[in-house]
């Protein structure tokens, strides 16, 4: 109505009760709204309950402010009174108050929702749904890999269709921009590994093997895996979020209706860029890991710079370096492919983008570890039965 509410929300109200013969008159004074709704309804209910009152009149003549929630509460009191066979009357409603009461349609208050409320599923149902979704996910991923390979094949046979600028952009994003963190983490890993192994090796006077352990571990396993996990966190998630947001904004639909293959247009540059930069980042990680170890070697192990380096070089084999780079390239393909595929799975809304971005990173890390295990077994046999033996 006409009196504004105070900005501090401390609105005053007063409810007085007057009993006459068989009727009860409730006089309202002041402001009635959301902020004092619980208080005044409790007060009125307490006064009304427990008495058989044939006639109840609520007088609005001194009400200065009323909002729709308060009006709703009075409508509810009217309905409750009717159910107790009490004749309830809302008296002296001003024109403004009538307007407010006019927006309350009693039938909508009891109308059943068109859709039942979503309730949580049982454990069995959840297990079933999770199994189905893992199955669907697998089929989706394989289908996407098929799409991606055919798009890559098309790009190879039609090199002019490759969006070179995009590839360079993602080379910078995933590679150059990620270089500082890869070098930092690589150096710290090498440093920690050298220090921890020194603590054990010194008991046997085998300090000279610290550079062997650091370079062997960095080149064969830690370099590629650590770089891949960092790229999955930095770039895999970014690919998923970027494509996901494009899905929400209907940009992917626009590409499709313009006759572009979204996979070729959006995924191929990202995958190519990742496959180019991750092996390079891995080399940086390997070198910085060895240099990190060198710091401990020179400062703590009493090894000379020359001894440390020559011991490291003695350990490193061409086969290990090459397979490490191949591994890195395969990891890069998986990270970028899963990132793009998860992005394309987004349907609507911000929550979907978040869900699939998380899923892109988790799935990428899982695939990295899984593929690394396969590589470990495979390379053992390749080395055993090959010319490298």
Partner 1 sequence: MTEPSEKKTVLSVKNLTQRFDDNIVFEDVSFDVYQGEVLVIVGGSGCGKSTLLKIMIGLQKPYAGQVLYQGTDITRASDEALNEYRKNIGVLFQSGALFSSMSIKENIALPLQEYTDLDADTIDRVIRMKLGMVNLAGYENHNPSELSGGMKKRAGIARAMALDPRVLFLDELSAGLDPITAVELDDLIIKTNEALGTTMVIVTHELESIYKIAHRVLMLDKEARGMIAEGRPLELKENATDPRVRSFFLRQLPENQDEQRFYAD
Cβ proximity to partner 1: between 108 and 387 the closer is 108
324 touches 215 (CB < 8 A)? no
Cβ proximity to partner 1: between 115 and 306 the closer is 115
Cβ proximity to partner 1: between 236 and 343 the closer is 343
Cβ proximity to partner 1: between 33 and 289 the closer is 33
In angstroms, rounded to a whole number, what is the distance separating the alpha carbons of residues 308 and 288? 14
Torsion of CA 276, 273, 138, 262, to 10 degrees: -150
123 touches 92 (CB < 8 A)? no
251 touches 293 (CB < 8 A)? no
Please report, as residue ranges, which positions from 115 to 134 form the binding site for partner 1 (by CB under 8 A): 115-118
Q: Taking the complex as a whole, how short is the minimal distance between the CB of residue 115 and partner 1, in angstroms?
A: 4
In angstroms, rounded to a whole number, what is the distance separating the alpha carbons of residues 46 and 83? 17
Q: Taking the complex as a whole, how short is the minimal distance between the CB of residue 311 and partner 1, in angstroms?
A: 56
Q: Taking the complex as a whole, how short is the minimal distance between the CB of residue 112 and partner 1, in angstroms?
A: 7
67 touches 32 (CB < 8 A)? yes
Given candidates 22, 49, 113, 157, which one binds partner 1 under the rule CB under 8 A?
A: 113
Selected range binding partner 1 among 31-39, 125-133, 234-242, 366-374, rule: CB under 8 A? 31-39
Helix axis angle for 349-384 and 237-248, nearest 10°, is 140
Does position 11 interact with partner 1 (CB under 8 A)? The reply is no
266 touches 340 (CB < 8 A)? yes
Q: Which position has the token pair 């009152």? A: 53
Q: Taking the complex as a whole, how short is the minimal distance between the CB of residue 118 and partner 1, in angstroms?
A: 7
Cβ proximity to partner 1: between 69 and 283 the closer is 69
Burial class for 104, CB neighbours closer than 10 Å (0-12, 13-18, 19+): middle
Cβ proximity to partner 1: between 102 and 203 the closer is 102
Q: Taking the complex as a whole, how short is the minimal distance between the CB of residue 254 and partner 1, in angstroms?
A: 16
Q: Which position has the token pair 């090199």? A: 159
Strand pairing report for 23-32 and 55-66: parallel
Please report, as residue ranges, which positions from 342 to 371 form the binding site for partner 1 (by CB under 8 A): 348-352
Cβ proximity to partner 1: between 110 and 157 the closer is 110
Binding mask 292-331 for partner 1 (x = CB under 8 A): ----------------------------------------
Q: Which position has the token pair 């011991």? A: 311
Residue partners of 9: CB distance under 8 A and separation at least 6: 35
Q: Taking the complex as a whole, how short is the minimal distance between the CB of residue 345 and partner 1, in angstroms?
A: 15
Q: Taking the complex as a whole, how short is the minimal distance between the CB of residue 103 and partner 1, in angstroms?
A: 5
- In order, the DSSP letters of 156-216 are HH-GGGS-HHHHHHHIIIIIITTHHHHHHHHHHHHHHHHHHHHHHHGGGT-GGGHHHHHHH
Q: Taking the complex as a whole, how short is the minimal distance between the CB of residue 247 and partner 1, in angstroms?
A: 13
Q: Taking the complex as a whole, how short is the minimal distance between the CB of residue 30 and partner 1, in angstroms?
A: 16
In angstroms, rounded to a whole number, what is the distance separating the alpha carbons of residues 126 and 374? 31
Q: Taking the complex as a whole, how short is the minimal distance between the CB of residue 108 and partner 1, in angstroms?
A: 3
Given candidates 37, 47, 162, 362, which one binds partner 1 under the rule CB under 8 A?
A: 37
What letter would DSSP give residue 112?
A: P
Tokens standing for residue 217? 């571990």
Cβ proximity to partner 1: between 42 and 202 the closer is 42
Tokens standing for residue 314? 């003695």
Selected range binding partner 1 among 4-12, 14-22, 294-302, 314-322, rule: CB under 8 A? 4-12
Please report, as residue ranges, which positions from 52 to 111 form the binding site for partner 1 (by CB under 8 A): 67-69, 72-73, 76, 96, 99-100, 102-105, 108-109, 111
Could you list the residues that contact partner 1 (CB under 8 A)? 1-2, 4-9, 33-35, 37-38, 67-69, 72-73, 76, 96, 99-100, 102-105, 108-109, 111-118, 348-352
């Amino acid at each position: 109505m006409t009196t504004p509410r105070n900005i501090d929300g401390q609105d005053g109200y007063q409810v007085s009760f007057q009993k006459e013969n068989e009727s009860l008159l409730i006089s309202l004074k002041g402001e009635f709204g959301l902020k004092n709704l619980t208080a005044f309804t409790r007060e009125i209910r307490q006064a009304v309950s427990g008495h058989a009152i044939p006639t109840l009149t609520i007088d609005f003549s001194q009400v200065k402010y009323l909002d729709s929630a308060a009006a709703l509460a009075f409508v509810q009191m009217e309905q409750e009174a009717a159910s107790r066979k009490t004749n309830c009357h809302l008296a002296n409603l001003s024109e403004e108050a009538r307007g407010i009461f006019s927006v309350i349609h009693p039938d909508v208050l009891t109308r059943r929702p068109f859709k039942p409320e979503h309730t949580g599923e049982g454990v069995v149902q959840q297990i079933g749904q999770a199994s189905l979704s893992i199955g669907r996910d697998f089929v989706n991923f394989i289908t996407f890999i098929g799409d991606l390979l055919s798009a890559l094949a098309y790009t190879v046979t039609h090199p002019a269709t490759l969006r070179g600028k995009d590839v360079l952009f993602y080379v910078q994003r995933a590679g150059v921009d990620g270089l500082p963190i890869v070098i930092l983490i690589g150096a710290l890993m090498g440093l920690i590994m050298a220090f921890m192994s020194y603590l054990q090796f010194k008991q046997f006077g085998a300090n000279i093997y610290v550079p062997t352990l650091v370079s062997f571990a960095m080149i064969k396993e830690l370099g590629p895996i650590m770089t891949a996990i960092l790229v999955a966190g930095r770039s895999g998630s970014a690919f998923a979020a970027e494509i996901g947001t494009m899905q929400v904004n209907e940009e992917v639909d626009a590409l499709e209706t313009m006759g572009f293959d979204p996979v070729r247009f959006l995924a191929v540059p990202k995958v190519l860029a990742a496959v180019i930069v991750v092996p390079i980042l891995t080399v940086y990680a390997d070198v910085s890991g060895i240099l990190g170890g060198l710091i401990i070697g020179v400062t703590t192990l009493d090894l000379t710079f020359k001894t440390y380096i020559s011991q490291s070089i003695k350990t490193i084999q061409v086969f290990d370096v090459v397979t490490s780079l191949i591994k890195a390239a395969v990891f890069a393909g998986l990270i970028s492919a899963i990132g793009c595929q998860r992005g394309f799975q987004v349907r609507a809304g911000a929550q979907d983008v978040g869900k699939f971005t998380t899923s892109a990173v988790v799935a990428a890390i899982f695939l990295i570890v899984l593929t690394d295990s396969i590589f470990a077994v495979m390379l053992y046999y390749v080395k055993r039965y090959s010319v490298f033996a």
